[in-house]
Structure 1
Amino acid sequence: MKHLLPASSMTDYHQGYPDAQPVRNPPVLSALGLVLMFIFLVWQAAVWTERYELQQLHNQASHELTLNIANLRGKLDKYEYLPELLATKQELAAYLLNITPLSTLRLNSTLKTYQQITRVSDIYLLNTDGTTVAASNWQSPRSFIGKNFSFRPYYRDAIQGQKGRFYGLGTTSGERGYYYSYPVFAGQSVIGILVVKIVIDDLEIPWQDPDTEFVVSDPDSVIFISSNQHWLLRSLHPLPEKDRVRINSSRRYGDRQIETLPYQTIDELNPDTWLVRIAPDNPDNAARINRYLQTSLPMPDAGWRVHILKNTRKVRTEILKNCLLTAGIYLVVVLLSMYSVQRQRIQRERIRHDRETQKALEVNEARIRAILDNTQAGIMTMDRLGKIDYINPSAERLFGYQLHELHGQNFNELILEQDRNIGVQALEKANSVAVEIRGVRKDYLPVPVEMVVSMMSRGQQTDYMVTLHDITERKQHEEALQAAYDQMESRVVERTQDLTEANTRLTEEINQHRHTTETLQKTQDELIQAAKLAVLGQMSASINHELNQPIAAIRAYAENGVTFLTRDNQEMAQVNLEQIVELTDRMASISAQLKLFARKSGGELTLISPKATIDYALRLFKPQLEKDAIEFNLQLTDQECYVRADAVRLEQVIVNLISNALHAISHRSTRQVQIAMSLHTAEVASPHDTIIRDELWIEVSDSGPGIAEQHIGQIFNPFFSTRDEGKGLGLGLSISYRIISDFGGTIKAFNRPEGGATLRVILPLAAGEQD
């Protein structure tokens, strides 16, 4: 061992490991400061972005608002002088002073010509009473001839010798219109009023921006023009009762009730700009409330206020982008700073670790030498040629040699000649597997030894280390155990024969029991199939009726087809042949349901949908339900669920329950059948504890006489039946109960308070498969 460890290492053995310095965690205050700084920067980015984007949105809205007001004013001014120009024509005054049928016809034609040239909606002439005496639409079903408009403000302005303007819904057409009026003079007296009407639809600006809404409101905040058709004729604010009365008296909006738009002001940015919130009218989008930046300017000459509403969703998007960008930049800066600090720390830790490692190695080598010198196992080290360079005190006691006597000697000289090949193979493999050899002591006495050879690294070379254990005492115990084993083995042989005979008898009994179980299962399957065929027999009359109708129809269509072919009417013949194909498809569908129901089960439990199973079962009874005019009610859950069962056998259970329900109501005046499916959570007792599981309930109810109280506990017994003798075997419910039990569920029966009986099938929901 002197070749393994430096001599100075022993002096450090009792010094112990150096104390490791605790790793300092980042201060809590520093982490809190970083979080607060992060929150502050993100908040500032959000505030700045919102302010900037709202200002940009306001500038854009103000520009668009100015353009739209100029556009509206230009369109309105285009027609402002038209009534004044037409009212100055002498023919109007002459007509009003001498109204005759012929002059009325001529004036109507003239006004129609003016209307077509100017492309306005209508031009009409009122007398001093406000009654229309001539109009461009005199030939229209909605002609103004004879209508009195004295209630309109444009009449009251013009009758006083002034220009008149008015906007509102037409009392005849119901259209939104803008009206211009001008008096017709005879000298200084007003003898009539000329009115020009334009349709507001011609003034509306086609709006293509989905994030912008254009609104024009009157002094009462009623929306008269809007790019959003759902906002038309709705007020921005609740109208006081006196304003409603005034609006109704002028019939500005006809008989329409003005509703309030779900409009709310959030913040006022300046006297003409607000942040507002408007909820949608569609109940499906009630949760999606839109926020707008609203900019408004008055239009005094028209009596309107024009609004531009810009949706702020892009502002929120930009806020989110800039917040994420700020957060990303901040995190990158923090991570780079942390990386730099951590790198310096790692370098310091690496220097300290190297220093501590060197010191620990010296201490460990001293400790290892002390362990080797004081261990009870013999240890030798040797080079790759098998020459010994170190033995510990235990190995010296084992062989009777001292280190200086064995140093440089070959290890094979310590092994008995007969076992030297074993020792050589152990050195070649050096796989740390224990082998037994017989060593030779200094006094030439053999000693049994257990040897383990392993490789060890010393600097740049790899040598052997051999661990030796004296197994003399163990060998003595093994010989004693072998003698006891031989004695026990003779006793075991004597008793083996008796056990073999008993095992043979037990095997025969097990085979007999297995045969009985297979026979029972086969009998049950045959009973299930027989019950299914019985149900098919009960439904045969209804199925026969369903098939007879298509067959009769096919014959009729075939005869018609022959007749049409004889008459060379191929089109009608083709129609009859297509009807025959459709009827054969219907017959195939009916027979396919019977084949599907009559199939045998595979016996394997899989994930199935109870809804699909109930649907398959109901298809078999559809003809009977329609034929007997049975009131049928099906209640299924909206939630999709699955159970672990056999689809064929579960379908057999549903068919049996429906068949029993139909039999129960066959002689009743009120014939009702109901199938209800629902989900429940229940506590179920287990061998060790009570568990909570999700269950599926399928309830089949009828309006029959119910189940006698003394029979409720017996209806699931084999061969028990309440039907007349010869009309039932009493196996349907017994088989159904056994099938549901195989699925891990149960069936319960009880009478309904309103009359009739209910059979409830309870199945556990498949774990992890329900939605």
Structure 2
Amino acid sequence: MSDGAAGQESVWKTAHWRRSILFVVFAGVACAALGWSAWRWTEARARAATDKAAATIAANHAGLLASELEKFRLLPLVLVEYPDVAAALAGDGAQQRLDRTLELLAARTNAAVIYAIDQSGRTVAASNWRLPTSFVGQDYSFRPYFIDAMRDGSAELFALGTVSGRPGLYLSRRVTRAGRTLGVVVVKVEFDRVEAQWARTPGVSVATDRRGIVLVTSRPDWRFHALDGLDRATAALARRTLQFGRSLPTRVPLSIAGKDASAPGEPVGYRVARTASPLAGGGVLHLAPLAPALTAARQQATLWALGLLFVVAVIAGATWRSAERRRLQREARAGLEREVAARTAELRDANARLSVESAERLAADQRYRTAREELALASRLGSLGQITAGVAHEINQPVAAIRTFAENGTILLDRAAPERARENLDHIVALTDRIGAITGELRAFSRRGRSASGNTTIGEVIDGLLLLMGERVRGALTLDVPASVRDTRVLGDRIRLEQVLVNLTQNALDATAGVVRQAIHLGVAASADTVTVRVSDNGTGIAPEVRDTLFTPFVTGRADGLGLGLAIARDIAREFGGELAVDDAPHLSGAGFVLTLRRAK
């Protein structure tokens, strides 16, 4: 080789080395920039994922708390009508009998304590009368739930028990007879089961009142602590009524700023989601820990950086060995084999992850079905509160008639007219059968739904609707049910189909609440394979902004609505092979819905 050729080769090698070094430096800078960007992006995704999970958990926990409360808010309303309650409060010697009745009722409903307080504030009967912590004889005249119920008719207060020392929600209602106030009946509800379910969720969940005081929580050491400081008036009231015991609430060891929250000594904090609470006008907060999502994000960013470095290393190796073709080929074959092995391992890992995810999805589906059934039951129990007034009216009429027939029967017996007296007794038997039918329908409606099997006639479903709704729809509801269709059998459980019609009828009543003359139309038609039920009203109709998402859970057009009724009703219809949809051409001018059911073979 000549000196010129050797010099040219030396220059070429020097230039090649410089280009290689520049390439490596550039690749390193590019990898660092991409790695930093990936780190920031994955961290933002971790925050967004944590926010979404926290919001879902907060909504679920608020729904669980609301369903728990709905089961107990009916109890005081029913108890004030119980004869022994009035007798015990009036001092007519029914205290011991009422003690046993309240004890049995508390055991069956899982209420913490049920007790009756006379107008002076002294407890005359309680479900815990056998226990050393019995409320019988205790003076609760200073408690706000007694004072407010005596003044306003009903009250709710979350407080620490002065005798039991256990926190709970006190639901109270005034007892009156013939215009005279006899006292107050109180139901205490404790939320141990709700708190235990909250505790099984990662993070911390709390329910606060409107002053920011923690009432229900998955962290028991936070209970009766305040998210912010208390003003003097609130502190004075709490000290006077012993709502939180002898000591006043102190601040929770937590600092909340927007959606971020941190506790002393914890390097990584929480993301906060808030939703409305059914307790004391406050809210439900869920604090989702950010650390797991951040760890996963950083691991993902690290893997991306390693992958980039791997690619850079392969390219740099190929550049450095460009002159050695055979060696480059051997390296390429070896790299290909390694890549195939890595991809094969990745496929095996992906297959294993898919198997685990499939099992988790099956478990999640089972939990979803269970939660859906619980929500359906809670929806029926919530409807019972609105149905109670109509059912009470339906029962009062037969009871008044029974009294009249009994009094007339006595007069007829005195006049030696036994045959006419017998006729009165037959009328009384018929009226008691009607009362039994009404109360039986109410009990059946409140039970847990059964599986998607069986069949019933559409006439039985409509008869159940009329028994449940009673006076509330009389004068407003118009039925268009041909006699030839009433005995048509459809697939589905009668009680659950009644729940669908009760929900649609109740929605129609709510929609026409401001109309001068309410009108609701229910029509039934049958074809060879299906039976169609159309419910419409003369209300304001369906708002355009919620029409497309009307059957989505927690979407509602009413300010006080929970947004579960139509979603549950559609699920029930689909469970039996049917469908529930908006009626595009309703019979009346307002909103309309079409329930399609399959005919039983």
TM-score by length of 2: 0.48
Which structure is higher in helix share? Answer: 2
Greater relative CO, 1 or 2 (CA 8 Å, sep 6+): 2
TM-score by length of 1: 0.38
Larger radius of gyration: 1
